[in-house]
Structure 1
Amino acid sequence: MQRFMLILDLKNESKLIETYENYHKNIPAHIAESIRASGIESMEIFRFENRLVMEIVAHDHFSFEKKQMMDASNSKVQEWEQLMSQFQQVIPGTSKGQKWVLTKRIFKL
């Protein structure tokens, strides 16, 4: 299994943050199915203020490139991404169009 941590910022408006959290209380089944079909075993999102941290645990065959291709060809995923984008903002220093940013592990015990 592989483990990844990604970060993303939400727009710093309490109503938008609340709405974003509400959407994630019960995501559509087709979104969960798409996530699992890509090889992701589990996914959790944590929040502090407007900063999100996503933990992904995925099978060894998982790759972000494959997931990106699967997502691009799935109209329901594209609709979800478009909906979520109204709440999200890029982290300074990231590439144009980049949302979730893969972090680098600097310590393990």
Structure 2
Amino acid sequence: WPEILAGIKEVGILEMDIYLRGTRLMMILEAPADLDLEAAMTRLATLPRQQEWEDYMSIFQVAAPGASSAEKWQPMERVFHLYD
């Protein structure tokens, strides 16, 4: 899915890791401090093959086909970091 990787970079995301455990996915992404993540995810949803990718990823998540990244991925608050 080269279009997905290109789109992630195009919207300003620098790095992304996704971890899987059963039906739970956790994403860690690195982005510039001034990146508007909501706007980036909205833009990402318009890029080629993105909705096809989201529908495929719904297999691994508890999400309805047709759900966007913004609907499936919700920000979390970090509550612990060893090196703070």
When normalised by structure 2's length, the TM-score is 0.72
* Structure 1 unaligned residues grouped into runs of 5+: 1-27, 91-96
Aligned residues: 76
Aligned to 2:19: 46
After TM superposition, list the pairs within 5 Å mapping 1:38-77 onto structure 2. Answer: 38-77=11-50
Deviation at 1:31, TM superposition (A): 0.4
Q: Is 1:87 aligned with 2:60?
A: yes
**Would the alpha carbon gap of residues 37 and 61 (structure 1) be closer, same or farther in structure 2, given more than 3 Å must change?**
farther
Look at both structures and tell me which one has the larger radius of gyration over its CA atoms.
1
**SS of the counterpart of 1:66?**
helix
Residues in 2 aligned to 1:100 and 1:83: alpha-carbon distance in whole angstroms: 15
Percentage of matched positions with identical amino acids: 32
Residues in 2 aligned to 1:66 and 1:104: alpha-carbon distance in whole angstroms: 19
**Would the alpha carbon gap of residues 84 and 48 (structure 1) be closer, same or farther in structure 2, given more than 3 Å must change?**
closer
When normalised by structure 1's length, the TM-score is 0.58
- Contact 1:45 1:53 (8 Å CA) reproduced: yes
Indicate the structure whose relative CO is greater, using CA pairs within 8 Å and at least 6 residues apart: 1
Which has a greater percent of strand?
1
2:25 alignment partner AA? L
**Once the two structures are superposed, what CA deviation does each residue of 1:36-75 show, in whole Å capped at 9, x if it has no partner?**
1111110001123332211100123322222222123224
